[in-house]
Structure formats: structure tokens, C-alpha cells
Structure 1
Amino acid sequence: MKQQNRTRNVQLIVRVTEQEHSHIKRKMALMKTNNFNAYARKMLIDGYVIEVDLSQYHELAGEVNKIGVNINQIARMANETRNISPQQIDRLQQEVEQIWQLLKLSLSELQSAS
């Protein structure tokens, strides 16, 4: 039996994966609601989408990669001429690795925020 007297008479159907469903349930729990219709309506009307421009991070990653290439060239020359110690080369490589880790951490924080 159709109910023509409903205030909200348009039905929307959304299909999600099991993982997405679990994620939605966690979000609903954070908002302290069990009513999916109310939650979905609130998010669809009042929710917002964050679009993040990652182009600067891609450029930064390219620059860090270039630094790594330069360090490898320095290491090759140092190994040939013996003007730099293996410890100094290791230190340079560790510092580049730290830069990469900071970049990855920053990107993962951006992704989790969106």
C-alpha cells in the first residue's frame, strides 16, 4: 500500500560494500545515532566534500626524489675518490629517508582527514 501522505515521499537507494557499511556504522556511532535515514539525510543535506589539491605534494615528492638521485651520484663519486666517509653517505641517506617519511605521514594525514 502506497502512502501518499508522507512528508518525505522520494526514496533514495544507496548500495555500499561491507567495508563502507562498517565505516558508516562507526560514523553513526560517533554521532550517537542508530537512525540511518536521519543520518543519511543530515549528511546529504548538510555534509560537505573536501577537495584537496595535492599538486604541491607531488612537486615536493619529485624534488625529494631529485635530492636522492643527487646523493646517489655523490656517493658514487665519493666511493671512487674516497673523499667522503661511508658514515657521511649513510647519514645523507638517513636524512633523505626521514624527509620521505615526513612526506608520507603528511599525505596520510591529509587522506584520513578527507
Structure 2
Amino acid sequence: MILLAKKRYRDKEVKFFVTEGELEIIDKKADVAGLDRSKYCRSMTLDGLIVKQDFKQVDDLVYEVNKIGTNINQVARRANELEHVTLDDIKYLKKQLDVIYQQIEKFYGGG
């Protein structure tokens, strides 16, 4: 009696290399998903989602906050030395805060 091999539905092999640590992570994720490694990798490859995040707006906001922090320190130092703050100093800080608020609106508004 000769047994014929059943033809595979998926007959193309895809190979890639991972480290031991990466393989452990893949296996853990497959286990959590209730899939074997092959099904998990196929599912992630075909249906998975890669999210690329752009943090430029956050970086811009952090830069502006750092700038205003430096300016506040300068005004505080002047207030301690001279024991007063000018109206121009307050206006300048208000203007800096407005820039930060604009950046925050831009970030959360997506524009």
C-alpha cells in the first residue's frame, strides 16, 4: 500500500531569523492569543497593525515648556534681586504661555 502525501493548502514557506529572546516573546504572545507559533505569525503578518507615532509636536511642546521655565526662572531671579517684577516681565511671560497653549491646541486638535 502506497500512501500519498496530502497536498498542503499553504505550500509556500517563509523564513526569517530571530534571537532567542525574540522567539520567547513570539511564543508567549502566541500562547496568550491561543494560537500556535505558525498561526500567530501568519495572523500578525497578514492582519497585524504597525503604528508609527510621530512625536514632533510633543517635542515642540516640550521645547516651548522648557523655554518658558527658563524665562520664569529669570523673572524670579530678577524679582529676588530687585524685589519687584515689571509689567513688561509679566506680559512677556503671558506671551510665552500663549505660545504653549497654541502648541497644546495644535497637538490635541491634530492641526
What TM-score do the two structures reach when normalised by structure 1?
0.57
Aligned to 1:97: none
Where does structure 1 differ by over 4 angstroms across 4 or more consecutive aligned residues? none
Instruction: Kindly report the root-mean-square deviation, in angstroms, between the aligned alpha carbons of the 2 structures.
Output: 2.4
* Bigger relative contact order, structure 1 or 2 (CA pairs below 8 A, ≥6 apart): 1
How many pairs align?
81
Instruction: Name structure 2 gaps, 5 residues minimum.
Output: 86-111
Instruction: Name structure 1 gaps, 5 residues minimum.
Output: 85-114
- Opposite residue 16 of structure 2, the aligned amino acid is V
Q: Per-residue CA shift, 1:73-109, capped at 9, x if unaligned?
A: 123212312348xxxxxxxxxxxxxxxxxxxxxxxxx
2:26 to 16, 24, 27: 24
Pair member with larger Rg: 2
- Structure 2: how far apart are the matches of 1:78 and 1:22? 59
Aligned-residue offset at 1:4? 9.4
Aligned to 1:36: 37
Give yes or no for contact 2:26–2:37 (8 Å, CA) kept in 1.
Answer: no
